[in-house]
């Protein structure tokens, strides 16, 4: 069974607070996750002036601009994250850019991947900027038709390393998970690594993904689901994170090759019990 790469998505669950981000990195390191991921937006590129000026109550103020600025980490925060992560048992961090300026921002750091969110898979202006970086790409297939995914793959070709099964509802209902879609992707996109991006509040589907052969499992993480934020309810808290990491490793070890074998331990029992 191939190695399973585990990605903890902090996304915007840090609420713009570097100390919350560090705590989530601490837990991710303790669990043995491979990478952590953020979402990055240049709000003046993503949203219209009219939208940003519209009212919205939040911990940061009374407008959409206040809220959107509030949940974004600053450049100095990412510099601090890049330094802090070197002290942890994590291979690195990367992000999902929502606009061209954010692609340029992420390319200034030593990111091992760029993740194309399900919402951005048809944004070819964004894809063009990502292609120019030559950074390996992960794509998610949530709310996408096969035609849309194929067009993205045709454009980025071998720059894509992982294709993730995903449902873009937060949190996703059990009846909508369609975990066997992982097998569909494996049969359809031979030559690419296939994984799973989780938006369920439960941990069981990450285990199922591992058993189905997912080579990357990404899931949102939080310190507390009751915290402010749109993604918190679809995120996994600390104890769940630790269980996912532990169980996925056990599943990887336990799935085996599928060959017809008698283990050394069975040989001993066989000698004692067989007539």
Adjacent-strand bridge partners of 197? 166, 218
pLDDT given for residue 84 in this prediction:
96
pTM for the complete prediction? 0.94
Q: How many domains does the chain have?
A: 1
Q: What is the CATH number of the domain that holds 82?
A: 3.20.20.70
Burial grade of 86 (CB within 10 A; 0-12, 13-18, 19 or more): exposed
Orientation of helix 204-211 relative to helix 238-255, angle to 10°:
20
Q: Which residues contact 148 (CB under 8 A, 6 or more apart)?
A: 121, 122
What DSSP state is assigned to residue 229?
S
E strand map for the chain: 5-11, 35-40, 55-58, 61-63, 92-97, 114-116, 137-140, 160-166, 193-198, 216-220
pLDDT given for residue 1 in this prediction:
55
CB 182 within 8 A of CB 209: yes
| Residue-wise pLDDT tens digits, 185-220 | 999 999 999 999 999 989 999 999 999 999 999 999
For residue 187, the enclosing domain spans 5-273
Q: Residue 174 CB: number of other CB atoms within 10 A?
A: 11
Question: Which portions of the chain are predicted below pLDDT 70?
Answer: 1-2
């Amino acid at each position: 069974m191939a190695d399973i790469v585990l990605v903890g998505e902090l996304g915007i669950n840090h609420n713009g607070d570097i100390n919350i981000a560090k705590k989530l990195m601490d837990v991710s390191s303790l669990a043995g996750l491979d990478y952590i991921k953020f979402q990055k937006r240049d709000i003046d590129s993503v949203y219209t002036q009219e939208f940003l000026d519209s009212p919205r109550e939040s911990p940061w103020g009374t407008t959409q601009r206040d809220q959107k600025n509030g949940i974004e980490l600053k450049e100095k925060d990412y510099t601090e994250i890049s330094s802090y992560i070197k002290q942890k048992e994590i291979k690195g961090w990367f992000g999902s850019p929502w606009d061209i300026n954010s692609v340029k921002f992420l390319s200034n750091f030593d990111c091992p991947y760029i993740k194309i969110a399900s919402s951005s898979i048809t944004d070819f202006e964004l894809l063009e900027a990502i292609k120019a970086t030559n950074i390996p790409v992960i794509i998610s297939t949530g709310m996408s038709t096969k035609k849309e995914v194929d067009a993205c793959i045709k454009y980025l070709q071998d720059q894509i390393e992982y294709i993730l099964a995903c449902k873009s509802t937060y949190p996703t209902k059990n009846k909508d998970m369609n975990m066997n879609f992982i097998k569909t992707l494996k049969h359809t996109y031979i030559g690419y690594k296939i994984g799973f991006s989780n938006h369920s509040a439960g941990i069981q589907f990450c285990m199922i993904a591992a058993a189905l052969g997912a080579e990357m499992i990404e899931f949102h993480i939080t310190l507390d689901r009751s915290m402010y934020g749109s993604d918190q309810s679809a995120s996994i808290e600390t104890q769940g994170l630790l269980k996912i990491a532990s169980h996925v490793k056990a599943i990887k070890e336990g799935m085996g090759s599928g060959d017809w074998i008698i283990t050394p331990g069975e040989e001993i029992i066989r000698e004692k019990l067989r007539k």
